[in-house]
A and B are shown apart, each in its own frame.
Chain A
Amino acid sequence: MNIEEILLDKKEMSKIMTRIENGDEDLSSEILKHIKGARIIGVTGVPGSGKSTLITKLSSRLLEKGHRIGIIGVDPSSPFSGGAVLGDRVRMKDLNRFENVFIRSISTRGKIGGLSYYTADLVNVLDAAGYDTIFIETVGTGQDEVDVFNIAHTIIVLQVPTLGDEVQIIKAGQLEIGDIYIVNKADQGPADEKIKELNLILKKRENGWQPLVIKTVAVKNVGIEEIINALDEHWNFVKETGLFKRKINSRIKYMLKQHALEKLDKIMESEVVDSYAEQIIKGRNMHEIVNEIINKVGGEYGKGGIV
């Protein structure tokens, strides 16, 4: 049976995701060959801003229109135990009435940047299985978590009315990556002020897109239709301007970087580092050691070694 047939079975697909998340390199490379080019939407914003609720509302509308929806929800892992509470599904219960949706919750497993090392791989699994629209819900983010920009065609950044003054709006990071900005929970504070501030700073992007700002109360379905329209508008832009092709390229480059970094990360978390630290204390040149470690990633530390 070929891999695309296997992926038709949700249970099998789910097990494939587990194997990839646990480091099955061959499977991860194989799946990448089968991606079909799904539309990928990244949703990011501070904890509690309404990401899961918004994704649920948007997904319901898109499922009614006949789309097949995949959702990857990322939550943080504990720096102490390595465990995690993955709670994105609490708000997504309504989606269980649809057959054509698949939700997977994952932990960052110690990775910073808003996603885990394997998030892109799991997106690939959904893409290869024919889910045409895939939401990535990042961990609750602050300012600097912009990894999702490398994978998603469209970035939705959620803001809430009550947090921060206008200086927060002019800072680097998340205010630079969004295609659609949502001021959610608009019934709970000075939303119009926030919208005014956002509109002031959100100039046309280098690629020609003018970011949109939309006011919503997601739990009450206020503003959902406007976002659906904005998503369509941006998707047309993505296809017409060649951004679609460029994103496939950036997704693959991002994955290469993640997988290389993960190997290095494993080595640096292992006990070999202790002996290197000893050597530095005894007078060995630090950067000589850095280069030695990098040389060994593909060799004795590589597959079957520490990694």
Chain B
Amino acid sequence: MSIAVDTAKLTFGGAVRAELLKLTTTRGFVWVALWSLGLSALMLVTSSAAAPADATVAEWTVMTIAGGILMPWVILAIHAALQATGEWSSGMFRVSFAVVPRRNLWLAAKATALAVFAGLVSIAVTMVDTAIVLAKHGSAGATIDWTLGHTWQIFIGVPAACIMTAVMAVGIGALVRTSGIAVTAVIVVLIVLPFAAFFGFEWVAHITSYLPSGAADSMVSAGAFGATSDDLGIVGGTAVLLAWSVGACVAASVAMSRRDA
């Protein structure tokens, strides 16, 4: 007897569930999480920084914790881009667009799934980094002060920055559809271009503040994502990073609506 599918209907929740299953039914996601955790932990364990012996120790503690996010941030972004381009490299897009023919819905579901993954991994990284910093520097007075605004700025801002950057990377991947180009674009935008701040031209340094790294750093005010010359503030940094993620997805959406799959 055939199992009835009469009530089956395409929904956003179903599409997100499908994208999460895509993520978790190959082994890659485990390695991404492990590398993110491992590299971040390694950075903090091997760091020679010492806790200050004054009232700024609580501030120092959370900024040190935030310092471990740089590599996971990049790894999560590259992973997100590859999850998008993987649809085309495997040919899976033919099936994905057959069952979810509205491409904006597919893109939104894919971005949501990768945002969830990036959020969970970055929170896990932050928790592990917190444990490491407190274990390593607790005797020197390192502590988490929950009454400090900066503490919340970092514990919320770091995962938020990772989430928005992952969404941006999904947009880039869906826009270019080729793994090599997508990964190169992500690395250039996140790591290479910010180095322009060191060229010595003030206007260049000013522009790099509006790159994802500069914006993310303004969000958490910890120097965690690379140098920035202008502090855009929490709201400004969030708005700029949001513009990058939304902009990349809008560009991908427009391209997908006009071209062949």
**Chain B associates with chain A:** no
Binding site for B on A (CB under 8 A): none
Binding site for A on B (CB under 8 A): none
